[in-house]
């Protein structure tokens, strides 16, 4: 009985589907059910989990975005007399419109290749997260994140780098995330050993 309930619940979770608008998602990538994606591009072999909200964002290849992550989104005009949507253009939760002032364009957010963003993380619009970076679950990212950095907390702070600077430089120079799938298949056996991987690609 428990097994039937489990699969039925999973079916109901999946059947909702994602809401995707004005976005380009690579065929090899995946947006899970319940996620809301607008004005966004996602390159190959990336995914975002369930119930995410991603607005005005460029996402690279091989990115892993966990459930309930929010990236980007609208900003209220802090420099105006009033910040309520009743004073600017567009449809909103409230019905009244006293004015239709145009808001400043929403900043674009950049998630580079091979980034892992943990569950329930919040990423402020206009942020850039560098190649190979990790954002811990529940983190609030308000500043740019360097390549291969691990950040966590509210606000998110640097915990450590995944590798030493020399190794990071070699990985960035390799640009393996741009390789065709055939080349990735050839070298994939070394991906669990970074020293062996770097030595193998150096000898090619």
Residue 45 annotated in active site: no
51 CB-near residues (< 8 Å, 6+ apart): 34, 35, 67, 68
Single out the catalytic residue among 26, 36, 76, 113. Answer: 76
188 CB-near residues (< 8 Å, 6+ apart): none
Distance between CA 167 and CA 101 in Å, rounded? 50
Distance between CA 127 and CA 115 in Å, rounded? 13
**Residue 187: which H helix or E strand, with range?**
helix 181-187
Q: Which residues are designated catalytic?
A: 76
């Amino acid at each position: 009985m428990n097994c039937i309930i489990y699969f039925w619940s999973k079916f109901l979770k999946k059947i909702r589907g994602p809401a995707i608008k004005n976005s380009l998602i690579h065929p090899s990538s995946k947006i899970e059910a319940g996620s809301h994606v607008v004005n966004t591009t996602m390159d190959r072999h990336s995914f975002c989990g369930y119930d995410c909200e991603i607005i005005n964002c460029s996402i690279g290849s091989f990115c892993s975005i966990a459930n309930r992550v929010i990236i980007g989104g609208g900003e209220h005009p802090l420099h105006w007399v009033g910040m309520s949507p009743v004073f600017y253009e567009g449809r909103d939760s409230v019905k009244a419109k006293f004015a239709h002032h145009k808001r400043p364009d929403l900043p674009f957010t950049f998630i580079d290749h091979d980034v892992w963003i943990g569950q329930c993380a919040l990423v402020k619009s206009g942020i850039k997260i560098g190649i190979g970076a990790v954002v811990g679950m529940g983190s609030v990212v308000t500043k740019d994140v360097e390549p291969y950095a691990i950040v966590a907390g509210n606000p998110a702070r640097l915990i450590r780098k995944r590798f030493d600077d020399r190794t990071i430089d070699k990985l960035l120079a390799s640009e393996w995330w741009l390789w065709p799938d055939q080349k990735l298949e050839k070298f994939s056996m070394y991906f669990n050993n970074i020293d062996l991987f770097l030595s193998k690609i150096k000898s090619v």
